[in-house]
Amino acid sequence: MGIIHLLDSETINQIAAGEVVERPASVVKELVENAVDAGAGSVTVEIREGGIGFIRVTDNGKGIAKEDIPTAFSRHATSKIASALDLLSVKSLGFRGEALSSIAAVSMVELVTKTRQEFTGSRYVIEGGREKEHSEIGAPEGTTFLVRTLFYNTPARRKFLKSAVTEAGYISDLMQRFATAHPEIAFKFINNGKTELQTSGNGSLKDCIYHVFGRDTAAAAVEVDSEADGIRVTGFIGKPVISRGNRNYENYFINGRYIRSNIISKAIEEAYKPYSMQHKFPFTALHFTVPTEEIDVNVHPTKLEVRFTNGEALYQFVYRTVQEALSEKNMIPDILLSEEKRVRTVYAPTPESFEHRRITYSKEAVRDEAERVREEAIKATLASPLFSDTAGAGVPETQQEVPVSGNSLREEVVYGGQPTEKPGQISLFDKSEQNKEAFLKQEQEDHHQIIGQLFATYWLVEFKEQLFIIDQHAAHEKILYERTLTRMGGKQAISQMLTPPVILELSIREEEALKRYMGQFTSLGFEIESFGGREYAVSAIPEDLYGVDGKALFLEMLDNLVTEPPTGTPDIVLEKIASLSCKAAVKGNTKLSVAEARALIHELLQLENPFHCPHGRPVIVSMTKSELERKFKRIVN
Ligand code: ADP
Ligand code: MG
């Protein structure tokens, strides 16, 4: 007898499952994708023990016909494509036919489903890939999957799971993305009996952002809508104030699918660079509509990556779109003295969309309960300091201009599964935003009341019930930077000779960067020659670098360029020189006269982006009068 034998199908399935089902979040991802593909208008996900013990996914989609169920659980069984040719135009999220068989191979699955055409529904139980039950049952239209004890038969995999809390966190992130990807679907996520996320499914992305990421993010979201070469992008990007320390909030979707793409991420981050600090990542919720023939989604089993036929064009398109959206907005951040507290969203007990027939008789009770919860929420909201932030309670003149408190209140309360408000229409910081816009206008400069300088660094300027604080050094640096850009970029480069030349030995990556940007270095006044091996002689540097050590500058620049994506903006070398030299130029606390400060502010406000210094730090911040009054308890919360 030979020693080579075929594995039995159970083992094959368990091995294959490893590609698709890595952790509870993978199960949720696959089941929710199936619900979306089934045309559901509402999807509920419930988990316990981080999804390791229990996952329920319920949808009101088209259901699975009784006779199709066993097939759906076999490997490579799908209703979504018929042949490889269809891959070119695949519009559904799934198409590989691997999820159900993989999930069933490593857990205990119970399925209840009914199609519109059938009179009764089906119950199907499958454990470790083995069918246990297939029977008739009364059921609403749609599908419910229950997945219990994940990896019960593959202890090796189970060992790699993290704590229940961490696993639940992954699922929560995933649900946030699904909700943001599909504003037309009402999502609900219940973790250990508590509703953690709920969206209305009314189709408004802004509403979704509000419910998923909260009020501050929605208030700082800038709308984007542009199109080029058949690719369309719509959605929102966050003002730099709400940027985070990791890429978790940098979300974008291609044809309704959440993906990660170096090209898109780089383009976004590059566009944000002038506005943000290093190691900060923006909030984005961008929906791309791309012709299906322009992308290949069949790259990876989890379909998290896609291939683009024209990556360079995509990069430029995204970069331009984000840059334009950012440059159009006023970016002065607010200072809040009062503690910022996220108002708790209250979820009244609500039926899932397809349950309404079953609970009609108790509608009144449900409504009473919802009303009670709502009232409690209103009381809680009233007690929160944030409430007066939005409505300006206690300040009579603001009260006339913003929606009356009753309306504002409902912003914070979600009940009955359908939010009653339209967050998109609420201008949370309207008045202060208008003041900021006006502050930036040249014709308003006469109304800037310069109060004085604080700590030999900050200029305080009063303007229309608002205090603006300008960081003198950041302002200086920004102005100097822009001047340097114009000077160096505009005319013939003037070099300053180094005698003797500086000899540097570069690393492979530094040498690569140097070669890539050699043309730009030369045009700015550098003279650099190869000296054999990886040694280079720098015999000239641009003149007038504010007395900065040329060699140090050159090395720091190379350092910077090494970490740069290859598709940087064309003037990248110029920008870096300007930024590095200005940083060195502006030092120490300097006392300015009021007239000098006025001139400085005047020049600052001429700039296209006066909001951030070349290193992304804010130059101007502002505080409203009512914020201060709140601190002094003139406004009672
Ligand atoms: P794929 O999604 O790649 O087709 P799956 O293994 O995820 O493969 O699902 C197999 C098939 O089962 C699907 O093609 C679909 O016909 C059916 N199916 C799975 N989940 C649902 C659902 N929630 N509603 C309706 N049909 C479903
Ligand atoms: Mg699927």
**Tens-digit pLDDT profile for residues 268-278:** 999 998 888 77
Select the more confidently predicted residue: 451 or 8.
Answer: 451
Select the more confidently predicted residue: 333 or 314.
Answer: 314
CB-based contacts of 293, cutoff 8 Å, min separation 6? 88, 89, 309
What torsion do the CA atoms of 612, 617, 618, 623 make, to the nearest 10 degrees? 170
CA of 80 to the centre of ligand 2 (A): 9
Residue type, 374: R
Most confident of 338-347, 364-373, 503-512: 503-512
Query: Using a 6 Å cutoff on CB, does residue 79 contact ligand 1?
Result: yes
Query: Using a 6 Å cutoff on CB, does residue 567 contact ligand 1?
Result: no
**Tens-digit pLDDT profile for residues 152-199:** 999 988 999 999 999 999 999 999 999 999 999 999 999 999 999 999
Ligand 1: atom nearest CA of 143 is 23
Q: And the tokens for 627?
A: 């914020």
Q: Which residues pair with 190 in a beta bridge?
A: 46, 195
Give the pLDDT of residue 358: 39
Please give the Cα distance from 159 to 187 (Å, whole number). Answer: 31
Alpha helices in 239-310, H assignment, sequence order: 262-272
Least confident stretch, 317-326, 442-451, 569-578: 569-578
**Tens-digit pLDDT profile for residues 496-514:** 888 888 888 888 888 888 8
Query: Using a 6 Å cutoff on CB, does residue 74 contact ligand 1?
Result: no
Give the pLDDT of residue 220: 87
Give the pLDDT of residue 258: 92
**Tens-digit pLDDT profile for residues 47-92:** 999 999 999 999 999 999 999 999 999 988 899 988 888 877 888 8
Least confident stretch, 422-436, 499-513, 523-537: 422-436
Please give the Cα distance from 60 to 58 (Å, whole number). Answer: 7
Give the pLDDT of residue 482: 83
Ligand nearest to the CA of 62: 1
Average pLDDT of the residues in 539-559 = 75
Ligand nearest to the CA of 61: 1
Ligand 1: atom nearest CA of 102 is 6
pLDDT over threshold 60, residue 458: yes
- Rg over alpha carbons for the chain, rounded to the nearest Å, is 30
pLDDT over threshold 90, residue 432: no
CA of 31 to the centre of ligand 2 (A): 7
Average pLDDT, the chain: 81
Cβ 332 vs Cβ 338: under 8 Å: no
Select the more confidently predicted residue: 229 or 343.
Answer: 229
Give the pLDDT of residue 273: 87
CA of 102 to the centre of ligand 1 (A): 12
Give the pLDDT of residue 375: 54
pLDDT over threshold 80, residue 120: yes
Select the more confidently predicted residue: 597 or 374.
Answer: 597
State how far the alpha carbon of 51 is from the alpha carbons of 20, 174, 181, in Å: 16, 13, 22
**Tens-digit pLDDT profile for residues 206-217:** 999 999 988 888
Cβ 630 vs Cβ 637: under 8 Å: yes
Least confident stretch, 277-281, 510-514, 577-581: 577-581
In this prediction the pTM is 0.69
